[in-house]
Amino acid sequence: MSGVEFATYPSGLRLAGRRVVVVGAGQVAQRRIPALIAAGADVYVVSPQVTPAIEGLIGAGEVEWADRGFRDDDLDGAWYVIAATDDHGVNESVSRGAESRRIFCVRADDATAATAWTPAVGRHAGVTVAVLGNRDPRRSAGVRDEILEGLREGTITARHHRDRSPGVVLVGGGPGDPELMSVAGRKALMEADVVVADRLAPRELLGELPADVELIDVAKLPRGRSAQQEEINRIIVERARAGQRVVRFKGGDNFVFGRGFEEVLACREAGVPVTVVPGLTSPIAVPAVAGIPVTHRGVAHAFTVLSGHLPPEHPDSLVNWKAVAGLDGTILLMMAVENAAAIADALVAGGRPAATPVAVVCDGTMPGERTVLSTLGGLQADLASAQVRPPAIIVVGDVVAIAHPGHYA
Ligand code: SAH
């Protein structure tokens, strides 16, 4: 043998109906035998003692047992051998006997003396994962575990085993940080044929999509807002009808100011299957990541989430700001940067004190995240001097002072 260390040559053995000899019946053998049985091997155990678990397998007729020490002729007719005694000399003679018969032999005591190594194995959805960690079993088990986790979560795409049934999945991507997207959402993304993505969806994740996934960027669709929504409805229905799996990918949760249910209705009307994967919605998740709770015992026992995209006096506004001002608890404003000053005035006019603490969290959970602290009375001036731009969540109420006691002391 030369000093060069060659790579191993991995192979999947099909052992059904073939004799596998296991010499020794302690902990190592006990861990190996179930997989051999699962492979349909004709398992022959040679050992004067056996563990209770192996004894159970013998009793159940799942393995055959030679109740004695190893003899060279135990290897007759074997296709594969596992030398798993705690006696180096015995393992050596098993090795030698296997070598002369050209049978591959695993060694529990000395991997370098073995002609075969046992990988760390796991299975998911019809795929077998086997990892050989260059004689470092902890490492191979760790790599195997990560691969299995990736398969389960959909970050590793077993594209041939994915759900290929046509239809639309509405996926909420969370507030921006890709880490904050759900396992189910990631899996749906990885299974998609087409992804129809919004401006606020966690865009980093789009870079991870398999190369054959088509990306339709809604931010780039021409025409005004309502025509755009009709166009989106048309695209998702048409693609699903053509047999594709469509993911409608949005920031936060699709049903929170996301027009998600219009898309659900469009699909239902067209007879296209549609499912929903909720996302962490920004009015709750963004303050949380910025260290502001939306409720706090003894301070706020309710919170109200509102769209501020229309100014309070606008005829189409569906919000009764006077009533909102009269509610107890935290107010969370979305799409409200433009109309923040007018909304603050309406809340003060409705009875909230001008000194009510306000936090404006911009680009929440994203690299440029920042929080501007203010009050209802000072909001207009503070937003202007801080040059706040959307997207932002405006948090109104005493929870802001709980989170930033120094600022409001
Ligand atoms: N469906 C989304 C909201 C869409 S409306 C959700 O559930 O979160 C768009 C508004 O959401 C923005 O104007 C802003 O108020 C808020 N928003 C979304 N992502 C945000 C973020 N990362 N930081 C701050 N505000 C955000």
Work out the average pLDDT over 308-325: 94
Are residues 393 and 294 part of one domain?
yes
Q: 209 lies in which domain range?
A: 164-277
**Residue 262 CA to ligand 1 centre (angstroms):** 18
Judging by DSSP bridges, how do beta strands 80-83 and 392-396 pair with one another?
A: unpaired
**398 shares a domain with 290:** yes
Residue 38: pLDDT above 50? Answer: yes
Q: Which stretches of 162-309 are assigned E, i.e. beta strand?
A: 167-172, 194-197, 214-217, 245-250, 274-277, 303-307
| Band of pLDDT at residue 160, cut at 50, 70 and 90 | low
Number of domains in the chain: 4
Q: Would 131 be classed as within a structural domain? A: yes
Instruction: Identify which has the larger pLDDT, 21 or 135.
Output: 21
pLDDT at 66 over 90: yes
> Alpha carbon of 161 to those of 10, 44, 157, 354: distances in Å?
23, 36, 8, 59
> Tell me, what's the pLDDT at 226?
72
| Spacing, Cα 219 to ligand 1 middle (Å) | 15
Does pLDDT of 36 surpass 90? yes
Report the nearest atom of ligand 1 relative to the CA of 333.
Answer: 15
pLDDT of residue 223: 66
Does a structural domain hold residue 159? no
- Domain end, chosen from 277, 301, 316, is at 277
- Largest alpha-carbon pair distance within the chain? 97
174: domain CATH number is 3.40.1010.10
246 and 233 co-located in one domain? yes
| Ligand 1 mean position, distance from CA 326 (Å) | 25
Residue pLDDT, tens place only, 259-290: 999 999 999 999 999 999 999 999 999 999 99
Domain co-membership, 230 together with 301: no
E-strand stretches of 311-391 = 330-334, 357-362, 370-375
If asked whether residues 338 and 355 sit together in one domain, one would say yes
Kindly name the residue from 220, 250, 328, 382 that is annotated as catalytic: 220
Report whether residue 397 contacts ligand 1, using a CB cutoff of 6 Å.
no
Q: For residue 158, is it within any domain?
A: no
Asked if 8 and 117 touch (Cβ cutoff 8 Å), the reply is: yes
What average pLDDT does this structure show over 204-224? Answer: 82
Same domain, 310 and 378: yes
Bridge partners, residue 97, by sequence: none
Residue 338 and residue 271 share a domain: no
Residue 151: predicted pLDDT: 80
* 7 and 70 inside one domain: yes
In a domain, 408, yes or no: no
pTM: 0.69
Q: Is 339 in the pocket of ligand 1 (CB under 6 A)?
A: no
**End-of-domain residue from the set 215, 245, 277:** 277
334 CA closest ligand 1 atom index: 15
Question: Which helix H or strand E contains 396, and what residues bound it?
Answer: strand 392-396
**Which CATH number fits the domain that encloses residue 340?**
3.30.950.10
pLDDT value at position 157?
A: 67
Residue 1's pLDDT is what? Answer: 47
Read off the pLDDT band of 158 (50, 70, 90). Answer: low
The string of pLDDT tens digits covering residues 348-396 is 999 999 999 999 999 999 999 999 999 999 999 999 999 999 999 999 9
Q: What angle do CA 268, 171, 156 make, to 5 degrees?
A: 125
Res 159 pLDDT > 70: no
Q: State the chain's mean pLDDT as an integer.
A: 93
Residue 231 lies in a domain: yes
- What pLDDT, in 10s, does the model give residues 226-255? 778 999 999 999 999 999 999 999 999 999
409 within domain boundaries: no
Average pLDDT over residues 48-72: 96
Query: Would residue 198 show up in a list of annotated catalytic residues for this protein?
Result: yes
Distance (Å) from CA 190 to ligand 1 centroid: 24
Tell whether 145 and 186 lie within a shared domain. no
Q: Provide the pLDDT for residue 3.
A: 62
